[in-house]
Structure 1
Amino acid sequence: MSTEPVGGAAIWTPTAHDVGSARLTAFRTDLLARGVVPPTVHDAHTLQRWSVEHPEAFWAEVWRAAGIAADGPGTPEAPWTAVLTDGAVMRPPHQSATGWDGPRWFTDTRLNFAEQLLRRRDDAPALVSWNEHGAQQRISFAELAVRVAQCATALAAQGVGMGDRVAGWLPNLPEAVVVMLAAASLGATWSSCSPDFGTKGVLDRFGQIAPTVLVAADGYWYAGKQIDCVPRLREIVHALPQLRAVWVVPYVDSTLDVASALPGMPHAQRFDTVLAAQAQVREPSFVRLPFDHPLYILYSSGTTGLPKCMVHGAGGTLLQHWKELALHTDVHENDVLFYFTTCGWMMWNWLVSGLAVGATVVLYDGAPLAPDATILWRMAHREQVSVFGTSAKYLAMCEKEGVVPREVAPLPSLRAILSTGSPLAAHSYDYVAHAIGERVRLSSISGGTDIVSCFALGDPTGPVHRGELQMRGLGMAVDIFGDDGTPLRGAPGELVCTKPFPSMPVAFWNDPDGALYRAAYFEQIPGVWRHGDWAELTEHDGMIIHGRSDATLNPGGVRIGTAEIYRQVEQIPGVLESLVVEQAHGTAGGTDSRIVLFVRLRDGVALTDDFQRAIRTRIREYTSPHHVPKVIVAVSDIPRTISGKITELAVRDVIHGRPVKNIDALANPAALELFRNLPELRR
C-alpha cells in the first residue's frame, strides 16, 4: 500500500526526444520564430499564461495550426471579421431582443465540422470497432467519407437540413460516427444516448429536442449478456411523433426484419438498407455555416431534475478538441487513439474528433472487464494503441484485480494513458508506472459536458507529479476562488474560469432568455464561470481535483472534497469502492452533522470492528481527524449515473428521507434502496 503524499518528485519526466517531437513544442517554437510570443514563453506553463492574457492572438494561432478550411470576409488565413467580440465580461451568450449578447468568436466565418474530420481520404484505417467478441469492423478514411456521403444523401431525402436534430440511441459503433458526420455535413445537429438508458431517460432527453430522424440499434452485448433494445425502441418511437424516419442498425441480429420488429411503423428501415439505396453516391458535400452553428446537443446527468440540454457550436468544439488532442495529448497523424466511452458521454464526441488530426479512432462497445479484466489491454496490443483513455474507476479496478497490462501483452506503441470521469487517486499513478510502463505518460484530465472539453489536461513536454493534473488548459483562464470570490492559493476552493472560451455552450435548449444558462454557471459568483468542482492549484502549477463542490464535506466548518476520502479508503485491501456523505444528525443540543461512509467490500470480506478501525485510522492519518466517519456501513452496490459517476447527492437525499428527483438518470437505481431506512443511521 502506497503512503507517499500527493506531489513531490516527478514520477515521469519527458526525455529530450519527447520534448523535441511534441506538437506542443513545434507550436510554441513557431510562435517564437514569428515573434507572436516573447522569449519568456519557454514552456507549456508560460505559454498557458500568455494564452489567457492574449486570447485573440492565441485562438487565431490555434485556427492557423489546425488548418481550418473556412469562408469569410477576411483573408484565407484569417477569414474572420474579429476573433472575439464582446469578450470583456464573462457571461453566457444569447440572442436578445436587441441582438446578440455576450462573447462571440470568429465572427462572419463559415465552416463545416464534418469537412474538417473528413479531410483525409486514403486507405489508412479511420475507425476500428471492437466489442466483447473482438474486432468487428475496420473502415478506411476513404470508405468513411463514402458512407457519410450516402448517409447524408439519405438524411437530405428525409428533409433534414440546417437546424434539424438527428438523434442516436446507439452502442459505440461506427454507424454512430457515420450518422453524426452526415448530420453535421448538412448543418443538422447531432445528439446521442447510449442504449443502457431506459425509455424514460431517453425521452427526458430526446423528448425535449424533438429529433427528425432517430437511429438506433436492435440490441447490444454487456458483460456477456445480449440485451434486446427493440421493446424500448417501440416505446420511444411512439412517444416521438415528429419523427420522419427510424433507422435500425442490426447489431445483434443480422437477419433483423424491421417490419416485424417495429410493426405499424412504415418510416422504419434497416440502416444498411438505407445506405445501399444510395450506393451511387461516392463524395460528400459540406454546407459551411457560422462558427457558432449548433453541432451537438449534450445533456447534464439529470440527477437533480430534467436533464439540461447544452447546445455546442461547431467551431468552438473543433478548435478546443484540436488543441487538446494535438497540443495537450500529442496525438499525431497515424497515431491510434482509444477512449473507453459510450455515446452518452462527452468523451465520445472528444474521441471522434481524433479524425481531425488524422488519427485512427478505436471504438469499443461492451463492459470494460468482460469477458475478462484484460480485454481492453489485449485490444490495445492488437491495435497498437498510442493513447489509451479511460476512467479513474477503471484503473482502480484493474489495480484491485491485480491486472498487470504489460504482462498481458506488450504495449510498445503506447505513449500515454488518459484518465477522467472522477478524480484519479495518487496510488493509481504508481499503478500505471509499475503495471503499464514507467515511460508511459499518465495524464489525468478534467472538464465536463458543459464545455465539451477540459479545463485541466496533460503536458507532453513537462513532468508528471503524483496525484496532480499537469496544467490548466491553453487559452482557459482557470482559477481557484475562495469563499470571498477572490483567487485562492495553498488551499482548495471553487474551480472557476474568468474569461470567455470558444467551447462555452452557444445556448441551452428551450432557454430563450438565457436564464437556465446563467443559473447553471454565473449566479453564485457573478462575472465568472463557476464549474462546480472543488480543486486547488499546486506548487508545480498543476491542479488537484477534490470532487464536486456540492458534495464536499463540512463538519465543524472544515471543508474537504469526497475524493480525498476515496483516495485513502480505496487503497485498503478488501475495499472495492466507497461513497461518503454528510448526514444531518439530531443531538441533545439540536442538529449537528456527521460523516457516513459506505463501502463495497470484496466477497468474503467482513466489516469487522478491526476493519472499521483500520479505515478510520487511515482517514485520520492521511486526511483529517475532522473527517473520520462516525458511521461505516457495508453495502453490496453503489449507485452511479449512466456515465459511470457515483452519485453522492442521490444517496444524501435518500438517507435524509428526501425524494430523488430523477432516478432514470441512474444506471442502477435499485441500489438506492440499499441506503434507505438503515438502522445504523438512526442511532
Structure 2
Amino acid sequence: MTKPLWTPTDERVKQTNMYRFMQAVNAKYGKNFTDYDALYEWSIENLSEFWAFMWDFAEIRFSRSYDKVLDDPCKMPGAKWFQGAQLNFAENLLRLRNDKIALVFRGEDQVRRTLTYKDLYDETSRVAKGLKSLGIKPGDRVVGFVPNMPESIIAMLAATSIGAVWSSCSPDFGIKGVLDRFGQTRPKVLFTADGYFFKGKPIDSLQKIKGIIEELPSIEKIVVIPYADEDPPVKTLPSAILWDRFKNSRAGEIEFEQLPFDHPLYIMYSSGTTGLPKCMVQSAGGVLMHQIKELMLHTDLKENDTIFYFTTCGWMMWNWLVTSLSVGATLVLYDGNPFHPGPDALWQMAQDEKITVFGTSAGYIAALKNAGVKPAQQFDLSPLKALLSTGSPLSKEDFKFIYDEVKSDLQLASISGGSDLNGCFALGNPMGSVYSGELQCRGLAMKVFAYDEDGKPVVGEQGELVCTAPFPSMPIYFWNDEDGSRYHSAYFDHYPGVWAHGDFIEVTERGGVIMYGRSDATLNPGGVRIGTAEIYRRIEQMEEIADSVVVGQNWNNDVRIILFVTMPEGVKLTDGIREKIRNDIRTHASPRHVPAKIIEVPDIPYTLNMKKVELAVKKMIHGQEVKNKDALKNPEALDFFSNIKELKE
C-alpha cells in the first residue's frame, strides 16, 4: 500500500476552512460528512445547493441577490448562473479599508514597498476617477502591459470598479504578441510601466509601446508608471500621461458599478502557438465565485495569511492571486528573475516576509533542485503551511525534494486547470494526505472524469480530462465569435455537451489525479497512448541533461518517439548518455516510452508563460508551418528542428 508523504493532524484539519465549510453543510442539510470524498460527491450532484451555500459562506457582497442559482445543470455551454444578482468584482476584493498590509512589492531592484488596504482603496479610487474622466464606461476595454507590481492591481481594480473589462500582458511579450491579443479587443486605455528589471538590468518598454500603439488606433490614453526610470520620457508617446498626473488628486468613496453576475470581467488568452490566441471572456461573478472557492477552501487562505505566487501579469495565476484580497490576506508580489541575484532569492524573501502560502511552477522547483538549493537548511520557513505548484506536471522526485529540502510539515498542492476557466479542475485538499506524483483531489463542484476513447469514465487508467457539468467561471463567450462556433470547437466537439480540456490524466482509486501532459501532445507509438510527462520525469533527474522536449514523429505508418535534449555547458551528448537515458526510461516508465531517437539541439522553445511547445516542434519536424512564433519566448529555437538529417533515417 502506498504511503502518503504528508498527512495533516486532526487538530490541523479542524482548523481549516474546508472543515468549517463541511460542518456547516452538515448542519444545514442534515448530512454527516466526515471526509472530502463525501463532500465532493455531494457537491457535484447538488450544484445549485453547493454554489448557493458558497455564496453565503464567502459572504459575497451584492446590491441585489439572485433569483435562481443555475438555470440548467445539464446545459453546457450556455448555462446561466445567479440570474438577477447585481454585484461588483472590485468591491468584493476591497472589503477591508484599514491599516492591514494588503500588498508587499519586492522587485529585482531590492526596493521594498507596502500598501495597506486603506492605501489600496484610496489609490483605486483616484485611478477610477481618472478613468471616468476619460469617459470609460461598463464594457469598455482597459489593458495593462505591465510588470507584476501594485499599480497593475490598482489599475485592474479601478477598471473593474467601473465595469470595464480588464486584460493584461507581461512586458516581455513582443510587439506582435501584444497586438495578436489587444488588437482583437480594441482597448481604449493602456497602462504600462516605462520598463522593468531582469537579471539586474533595466529593460525599456517605451520603444515597444511606440510600436504597439501605431497598430492600435483604439487607444485613447496611455498611462505610464515610472519604474525603471524615475522620470521617463513620455512626451515621445502620443496621448501619454504619467501615473501620478493621471490619478485624481483626491481619494474618496468608490462608486462600484452594480452589474449582472455574468457581466464581462476579464479577457484571457490562449498561448496562441497554432494561430491567433483565443480571446476568452469571463464573467465577474463567475471568476469571483470560482476563485474564492479555490482560495478559501482548497488553499485554506485566511485573513492572517501571507500568500505569494511567482507569476507575471500575462499568466492566469496573477488573476488568481489577486482574488486573495477578497479574504483580507497579504499578497507578496515579485517581479523579475527568480534566480536573481542567486538561486535562493525567493526563499530569502519567503523568510523575510513570513510567507505562509508559496506558489510557483513545476519548472522552477526542478531548476531549484538542480541548482542545489536547500531552503530548509538556509532559511527559517516556520510560517510556511502550503506550497502550490502548477504550469506542468510535478515529478515524483520533485515531490520528494520539497519534503526533504523545503519543509517536511507542509501541504504540497500540485494544481491544474487553465486560463480557460481562470482556475483549477484538480488541486489541493487541506484535510487530506499528499501522495507522491498526485494532485490531491478534483475541485468541489467540478464534475471531472478521465474518459477513455469510447467516452466512458475510467479509474486507475489514463484518459482525457473532461468536465461533464457546468461551472461558474466557464467563458461566457469568445471575443469576435458571434455564432459561438470557435467556443464550441475549443471544448465541445470531441464529446457533445462535455468539456474536454485537452489534458491527459488518471483519476486514482484515492480520488487523486495524475497529470500526463497535454492530450494533443500525447504520443501514440503502436497505437498505445503515452503521456509526455512520464518521459520528462525521468529526464529531469539526469544531471547530464539541461532540458528536453519530446514529440511523436510519423514514421512508416506508425509513430516513433523523438527526444530532443540540450546539454549543460561543457557536456556533449554521447552514445553512453543515450544508452543511460534509454535504460532509465525502460526501467522506470516502460519499454514503450523509450525514444527511437535522442538528438541534441542548442535550445528548447517555450511560450511566454514558460510552457514547452511540443506541438510547434512536431510541426517543424514534419515540415509544417508554425504560424504564430511571436507567442514564443525564444522563437529562434524552432529553427533548430527543421530538416534534421537524423529524422530521415
Which TM-score band (shorter chain)? Answer: over 0.9
Aligned to 1:183: 159
Aligned to 2:346: 376
Aligned counterparts of 1:572 and 1:8: Cα–Cα separation in 2: 25
Aligned counterparts of 2:423 and 2:546: Cα–Cα separation in 1: 29
Aligned to 1:86: 72
Judge which range, 130-139 or 454-463, deviates more: 130-139
Aligned counterparts of 2:257 and 2:395: Cα–Cα separation in 1: 45
Q: Deviations over 1:24-61 (max 9, x none)?
A: 00111111122x2521x211121111000000000011
Q: Are 2:618 and 1:652 equivalent residues in the alignment? A: yes
Q: Which of 5, 11, 17 is matched with 1:11 structurally?
A: 5
Q: Deviations over 1:138-193 (max 9, x none)?
A: 11000000000000000000110111000000111111100100011001000000
Aligned to 1:100: none
Aligned counterparts of 2:2 and 2:309: Cα–Cα separation in 1: 29
Aligned counterparts of 1:71 and 1:104: Cα–Cα separation in 2: 19
- 8 A contact 1:310–1:509 mirrored in 2: yes
Q: Are 2:633 and 1:671 equivalent residues in the alignment? A: no
Q: Deviations over 1:345-394 (max 9, x none)?
A: 00000000000011011111101112210111111111110000000000
Aligned to 2:231: 255
What is the aligned-residue identity percentage? Answer: 50
SS at match of 1:8: coil
Aligned to 1:584: 554
Q: Are 2:508 and 1:527 equivalent residues in the alignment? A: no
SS at match of 2:543: coil
Q: Which of 22, 25, 50 is matched with 1:58 structurally?
A: 50
Structure 2: which amino acid aligns with 1:315? G
Q: Which of 305, 309, 313 is matched with 1:339 structurally?
A: 309
- 8 A contact 1:92–1:514 mirrored in 2: no
Structure 1: which amino acid aligns with 2:141? R
Aligned counterparts of 2:361 and 2:308: Cα–Cα separation in 1: 12
- 8 A contact 1:87–1:104 mirrored in 2: no
**Displacement of 1:592 after TM fit?**
3.2
Aligned to 2:415: 445
Question: Structure 2 matches for 1:119-198, cutoff 5 A?
Answer: 119-198=95-174
SS at match of 1:12: coil
Aligned counterparts of 1:86 and 1:43: Cα–Cα separation in 2: 28
- 8 A contact 1:218–1:251 mirrored in 2: yes
Q: Deviations over 1:633-678 (max 9, x none)?
A: 1223210100110000010111111110210100110111122222
**Displacement of 1:582 after TM fit?**
0.7
- 8 A contact 1:330–1:460 mirrored in 2: yes
- 8 A contact 1:397–1:576 mirrored in 2: no
- 8 A contact 1:149–1:284 mirrored in 2: yes
Q: Which runs of 4+ in 1 moved over 4 A?
A: none
Aligned to 2:31: 38
Aligned to 2:267: 297
Q: Are 2:537 and 1:537 equivalent residues in the alignment? A: no
Question: Structure 2 matches for 1:506-655, cutoff 5 A?
Answer: 506-586=476-556, 591-655=557-621
Structure 2: which amino acid aligns with 1:274? F
Structure 1: which amino acid aligns with 2:137? G
Aligned counterparts of 1:435 and 1:606: Cα–Cα separation in 2: 30
Structure 2: which amino acid aligns with 1:65? F
SS at match of 1:362: strand
SS at match of 2:307: strand
- 8 A contact 1:303–1:662 mirrored in 2: yes
- 8 A contact 1:392–1:423 mirrored in 2: yes
Aligned to 2:465: 495
Q: Are 2:262 and 1:269 equivalent residues in the alignment? A: no
- 8 A contact 1:170–1:176 mirrored in 2: yes
Q: Which of 305, 316, 331 is matched with 2:286 structurally?
A: 316
Give TM-score, length-normalised by structure 2: 0.99
Paired residues in the alignment total: 649
Aligned counterparts of 1:18 and 1:679: Cα–Cα separation in 2: 58
Aligned counterparts of 1:110 and 1:520: Cα–Cα separation in 2: 30
Aligned counterparts of 1:378 and 1:156: Cα–Cα separation in 2: 41
- 8 A contact 1:400–1:576 mirrored in 2: no
Structure 2: which amino acid aligns with 1:675? F
Task: Please tell me the root mean square deviation across aligned C-alpha atoms, in Å.
Answer: 1.1
SS at match of 1:11: coil
SS at match of 2:417: strand
SS at match of 1:235: helix
SS at match of 1:496: strand
Structure 2: which amino acid aligns with 1:246? I
SS at match of 2:605: coil
**Displacement of 1:133 after TM fit?**
2.5
SS at match of 1:154: helix
Unaligned runs of 5+ in 2: none
Judge which range, 553-562 or 571-580, deviates more: 571-580
Q: Deviations over 1:108-142 (max 9, x none)?
A: 00000000000011111111111122243211000
Q: Deviations over 1:68-124 (max 9, x none)?
A: 11133xxxxxx21100003323x222xxxxxxxxx1011000000000000011111
- 8 A contact 2:190–2:221 mirrored in 1: yes
